[in-house]
Amino acid sequence: MLILKHVHNWSYETLEREVRANVVYRSFCRIGMEKVPDAKTLVRLGQVIGAKTIAELHDRIVALAQERGVIQGRRMRVDTTVVETNIHYPTDSGLLSDGARVLTRTMKKIAGKAGGLKRNVRDRRRSVRKRVIAIAQAVRHKGMDGERQRQREYRQLLRLTRQILNDSQRVLLEVEAMPAPRRRAVEGLRERLETMAAQVRRVVQQTKARVVEGITQLPHKLLSLFETHTEIVRKGKAAKPNEFGNVVELQEAENQIITHYEVFEKRTSDQRLLLPAIQAHQRKLGRVPGWVAADAGFYSRANEEEAKALGVKYVSIPNRNTRSEQRRRWEKQRWFKRAQAWRTGCEGRISVIKRRHGLARCRYHGIQGMRRWVGLGVIADNLINIGRYLAPQTA
């Protein structure tokens, strides 16, 4: 059912409704005339099935495709893209507002579940919202006056956030001093409060560095309090210069079948991905590809030489920085141009899985959720392409 969900890019509610009403879907999902799991049950089942299980299922589908002759493994093309996380556009004021809201809400839950605290939790969310609105209005004013107003509002927002952090520290100390039965009742909330408070402190530090001290290039910048694995990725797109998510590598063989995918928690240079991609191809299909095609981001002279040492006969990766006439003649050969023309299919495949299977934005939580989301989308696309190839033979 999860695969069917990603084939059509449905929500869990739509999936439940469609499977309940369609005999073909019931047969595909091996449900028959039994009761269809409801949407909440499907969410829990989806969380139980881990990213490793989905990767093993994908490997099995690739092996079946090879057995049926859909792929032979003679050619390989590889490219990377960005799958965005499900977050709003990250701004310092927005992150501080999120942190204030979650910390206050969690402290109130602890107070309610523990039967009250020594001091009531003060709700500063209204004051925080006012400061966030004032910052947004100050941004519209250009010049030094607007900048001074923006810094003044940011300082007030930082002061409010620190007060909320102090309250959270007081609540944590009070929970530690509670009797064991009361402490066990709020243990999960305590851990959540402690984790969120640590993340909000990071946001306070990076906001102070950027707004007050003028330091904009900060390593390990936190972009979301909920999807902490999110990275800023710049792929040189004019319409979207900054993307917020994780880099995903996709490599294909014949008939548009994706033989391997990988989600990177930390972005890596494309040059470092070519040789592991060839090794993954060899491991899964039992042979080294005769043709390897990739874009200029994967090029290095060492990559070409090592790929040929592994047994690749034709390596079609353009070098955009060369001034060598010999290299230019090399790239004008007929086989090189044919391989590059085939390589452009990667762009179309990425576009299709983003539009048809929802890989433009991940709806699952965390880095493991990202791997599950990408894996299910890739499996869904492979099943469609395998079926399209085998259907004429069956007919």
Question: pLDDT at position 394, please?
Answer: 63
Note the pLDDT of residue 290: 93
In angstroms, the Cα distances linking 278 to 262, 264, 273, 282, 339 are 13, 17, 9, 6, 16
Q: Which residues of the chain have pLDDT under 70?
A: 394-395
Pairing state of beta strands 291-293 and 75-84? Answer: parallel
Asked if 103 contacts 125 with a C-beta cutoff of 8 angstroms, the reply is no
pLDDT on residue 95: 95
C-alpha to C-alpha distance for 339 and 294, rounded to whole angstroms: 9
pLDDT tens for 174-191 read 999 888 888 888 999 999
Segments of the chain assigned E as strands? 75-84, 231-233, 243-252, 258-264, 291-293, 314-316
Cα angle for residues 185, 201, 110 (degrees, 5° grid): 15
Between the alpha carbon of residue 37 and those of residues 4, 28, 128, 365, 376, the distances in Å are 14, 15, 42, 22, 19
For tokens 């007929």, the residue is 334
Here the tokens at position 110 are 């602890």
Count of residues making up the chain? 395
pLDDT of residue 262: 95
Q: Name the DSSP class of 83.
A: E
Contact 5, 19 (CB under 8 A): no
Q: How far apart are the first and last CA of the chain?
A: 26
What is the model's pLDDT at position 74? 93
